[in-house]
Amino acid sequence: MAKPLFLYTSSTPNGYKVSTVLEELKAAYGTDVIDYDYEKIVLSTNRQKEPWFIALNPNGRIPVLVDRSHEPSPFTVFESAAILLYLVRKYDPEGRFTFPTGSDEESELLQWIFFAHGAIGPMQGQAHHFRHAAPEDIPYGKKRYTEETARLYGVLNIRLEGRDYLVGPGRGKLTIADLNAFPWVRLHQRAGIETLDAFPNVQAWLNRIAERPAVKAGLAIP
C-alpha cells in the first residue's frame, strides 16, 4: 500500500531539510500518522527538468512533496521552507516542532525560517558554487560569498547565546526553524569556513541537532 506522502529529493541541504523533519515527525507520532516514500533525483542527469517534474514544480528544483492522502486529489508542495510549514500544519497536531498560529513564538519561528531561506541558503549556495563548480577561478566570488556566509553565522551565534535552539521561551525547543538552517550550516567547510571556532554557540547547536537519531535518519535519505 502506498504511503501517504511522496518526496522527490536529492543529497542537498534543501533535500535534507525535508527528510529530517519527516523523520522527526515519524519519531514523534509514529508511522500510523505520517510516513513517506521517496525517489532520489540525480541532479546531474537533469531529471528535474523533464516535463513530468516541471508539472510538479515549474522551477525544476528539488525538493517536491506530494501528499497523496489529500482529498479530493493529491496535493503538491515545492520550496523547502513551504514544505516544512505544510508538514507541521498538517502532521504536527501537538505543535512539537512549531507554535500556535498567531502567537509571538510563531512570528519568531517564521522570522528565522525566512532568515535562513532568504540569506543563509542563497549566500552559502553561492560560496559552494564559486569554490566547487565555477568553470573558472574567481577569487572575488569566493571571498564575497564566504565572508557573507560567515557574517550570517555570526547572526546565528548572537541569537543562540544562552539558548539551545533558535525559537521558544527560555533556551528554546527544536523546531522547523532549526531544521531549516541546520543542513546548510553542517556544510560550513564546503563554503570555505574551516571551523566554527569563531561561532561557539553555533557549533554547540550544530552538535546538539546532529546527535538526534531522527536527524541522523533524515541525513541518510536519499
DSSP-derived secondary structure for 127-148: HHHHHHT-SS--HHHHHHHHHH
Cell of residue 99, nine digits: 507554535
pLDDT of residue 92: 98
- Alpha-carbon distance of 210 to 178, in angstroms, equals 11
| Same domain as 119, residue 28 | no
Backbone angles phi, psi at 64, to 5 degrees: -135, 135
Residue 165's pLDDT band (cuts 50, 70, 90): very high
| Same domain as 36, residue 20 | yes
| Same domain as 114, residue 206 | yes
Residues with Cβ within 8 Å of residue 80, at least 6 apart in sequence = 14, 15, 17, 18, 63, 117, 180
| Same domain as 201, residue 115 | yes
Q: What is the pTM of this model?
A: 0.97
Asked if 67 contacts 37 with a C-beta cutoff of 8 angstroms, the reply is no
| Same domain as 177, residue 140 | yes
What's the structural domain count of the chain? 2
| Same domain as 118, residue 203 | yes
Share of the chain above pLDDT 70, in %: 100
Residues with Cβ within 8 Å of residue 75, at least 6 apart in sequence = 66, 67
Supply the CATH number for residue 49's domain.
Answer: 3.40.30.10
| Same domain as 119, residue 85 | no
pLDDT of residue 112: 98
Strands 64-67 and 36-40: unpaired
Domain enclosing residue 19, as ranges: 5-97+215-219
Residue 1 pLDDT > 80, yes or no?
Answer: no
| Same domain as 141, residue 42 | no
Neighbours of 193 (CB within 10 A): 20
